[in-house]
Structure 1
């Protein structure tokens, strides 16, 4: 009798499993047929033909769906007469990816974008929804992403990294907006400032890319290390002693003359944090994980190019956690205050959950290293101001020392020694309290290299002025709302 019951149970299970497999196969075989246009590998940011025409650009690190923090940064910097360039990974991870995408599409004339690996994952999931819905199902006929300037097609090396969340973003946006994003964004952007040539990419690019060779889409969106003996080989990890960080190839003393006025702005590498070097600027400072959202402003006035750094603190982890709690409560038919997670955060739900600084800990500000070259004008009088360094540097030992030494770029903020933790340059601190200073956004101002050959050799010099701006929202204020005590930067108007 028991054998009969067991046999019937097994037979019933197999029958249900067969029905489920047939259902999944039918879904996969009858997926809606979507397509995307060929994506530009390289686009030009249109600027006035007159090279002396005044203009303003704002390059922004990885947003990752943190719409409120992005708006907070824009309210701080202003957007009048400004072209914004998002450095990829503006979608996924954070709670408001759809709002970020809508902002881009609603402001195409003023907001440009390069695609990051997560943005490509959203597009790939849009073309291949079965991969995201049923990751265990190995579908043979995958639809790739295609790009101009190259016959290369893009299929992720690891399909399991295409998550249902990527597909969900594409579903919420819909076919029309997905096509618009593919038409509007590109893998890389070139900006001709006359005497300075800027490239915006997500992960990185090598000297000579787009001049001597066409880089691959995976290198532009995923590269962290490159084999110095074979530049065609790159990776996300240091595979052997021949692999070095790609930006080390941009050391001024090693560059040919035609690249001395070329600069690369990128995101992707949150583990490095803010990484300003002679010819490369890494602006991913981990906003989605509670770090900062960073913007680098380039202005050209009467032919002279200057740069200014802006940062706002992010509550990405906390906001994402609270959103997840709300969704969980809604699915369980409960009030969010009834969840144990909420009680742990918010003292039983009777008070506002602790801020990011209280519950998760704020990123540690680096201190000045004795090995770092002292900035020009350094004196004992500047000790107080230099104690506040730039956030975004990871804690721990020097990764570069493990790679076989460090580099030095005189006159370059941050140096080339990853193990050292340089402080911000001397400047006036306008925070009214230590609390505001700790939570405040930062702005640094410095000039692009002039005609001095030494300056050109080492790219953009160190930051020579720092302006600390408090940005902690008082109780009751909405995230992203401008405060009266903030110091707004000058908004440039073309003449």
Structure 2
């Protein structure tokens, strides 16, 4: 797992004219919708840079195609809770491959990303996800596994004209904690933060982490403020706040797939635009169980506060 990665600043080069950064929320294997969204946005891989905010895979019908597309387009990415579980399942399958069948012990360390997987594993329940995801984990190619393993938990994009210091994560960040010291499980799973302890939680009934984040940024010196682009929170939908941009709009459940696009021009200026397309509802996909979202991540009971964003989707 890579905790923090600094973005290659050459990706913001204006060599071919205005540069566009296209951040996309949770895709969850919805490849057709991704292609449609990028067609709507008139995506051009010479001048546009894709940034996926995690959960490219799982739940939907075409996770391999989404990962292959990301590799082909040299898309930037962050590690979501489903990529994390996918890699855990991948490692679990590898562990079983190298297990000594007589002693039921490991005979050697498990191979890294892209290592061989046993083909005879049955469809018994594994602790890291349901059948459709284990099937993908078992079929991961070396290139796919390496790409997913290289997605950092935090992507530090640096200074973006018109926006300032910009970060990409899957779920959220706790304000006032250095990026290197943030809990990676919290970054990939949080929805709220306990106001007394500042401990992150998946409990949506607590104080939304982004409310605390925006309040904290607003009182910091301007040069030290950071904007976070994230996914994960389909329950609240699109959240376009001053210092946080939430892009998960529930595509895999029949909602929309959303992109937040920054057009960067000369003179340190940029403009913002939001695109979305309607998605099919894949909740009844054959072979899909409850999945990984039901795994607990709530070490503390949260304060009973709520909040809704004011962002709107442009269809």
Counterpart check, 1:115 vs 2:83: no
SS in 2 for 1:166: helix
Q: Distance in 1 between matches of 2:54 and 2:96?
A: 21
2:155 to 181, 184, 189: 189
Q: Which residue of 1 aligns with 2:256?
A: 292
Equivalent in the alignment of 1:85: 51
**SS in structure 1 at match of 2:236:** coil
**Which position in structure 1 is the counterpart of 2:9?**
46
- C-alpha contact (below 8 Å) 2:25/2:53 kept by paired residues: yes
Aligned to 1:222: 189
> Deviations 1:255-310 (Å, cap 9, x if unpaired)?
31146642111110100011111211111000000000000001111211211010
Q: What is the alpha-carbon distance in structure 2 between the residues aligned to residue 85 and residue 50 of structure 1?
A: 16
Superposition deviation, residue 214 in structure 1: 2.1
Cα distance in 2 between the residues matched to 1:193 and 1:251? 18
- Answering whether residue 172 of structure 2 is matched by residue 204 of structure 1, we say yes
Aligned 1:132-151 pairs, distance under 5 A: none
Q: For the structure 1 residues 247 and 166, does the alpha-carbon distance in structure 2 shift closer, same or farther, using more than 3 Å as the test?
A: same
Gaps of 5+ in 1: 1-37, 134-138, 147-158, 328-400, 405-416, 425-441, 444-467, 469-495
Q: Which runs of 5+ in 2 are unaligned?
A: 98-103, 114-125, 289-302
Q: Which residue of 2 aligns with 1:125?
A: 89
1:248 alignment counterpart? 211
Structure in which a larger fraction of residues adopt helix: 1
Specify the structure having the higher radius of gyration (Cα): 1
* Kept in 2: contact 1:121–1:166 (CA 8 A): no
Does the aligned pair in 2 maintain the 1:125–1:132 contact within 8 Å? no
Partner of 2:281: 316
Q: Deviations over 1:10-45 (max 9, x none)?
A: xxxxxxxxxxxxxxxxxxxxxxxxxxxx53533314
- The separation in 2 between residues aligned to 1:275 and 1:117, in whole angstroms, is 19
- TM-score, structure 1 as length reference: 0.49
How many residue pairs match? The answer is: 275
Q: Paired residue for 1:403, among 285, 288, 305?
A: 305
Matches within 5 A, 1:297-308: 297-302=261-266, 303-308=268-273
Shift of 1:78: 1.8
Give runs of aligned pairs for residues 53-452 of structure 1, distance below 5 A. Answer: 54-80=18-44, 81-108=47-74, 111-129=75-93, 160-183=127-150, 185-191=151-157, 192-194=159-161, 196-210=164-178, 214-231=181-198, 233-237=199-203, 243-252=206-215, 254-258=218-222, 261-302=225-266, 303-317=268-282, 321=284, 324=286, 402-403=304-305, 417-418=307-308, 443=314
CA RMSD of aligned residues (A): 3.5
CA contact (8 A) 1:252 1:279 kept: no
Comparing both chains, which one has the higher relative contact order based on Cα–Cα distances under 8 Å and sequence gaps of 6 or more? 2
What is the TM-score when the length of structure 2 is the normalising length?
Answer: 0.75
Alignment check: 8 A CA contact 1:132 1:166 kept: no
TM-aligned CA distance change 1:193 to 1:168, over 3 Å = same
Does the residue aligned with 2:90 lie in a helix, a strand or coil?
helix
Q: Is the 8 A contact 1:41 1:217 kept in 2?
A: no
Output the CA distance in 2 between the equivalents of 1:143 and 1:266: 32
Verify the 8 A CA contact 2:11 2:49 in the aligned structure 1: no
| Structure-2 change in CA distance of 1:272 and 1:238 (3 Å) | closer
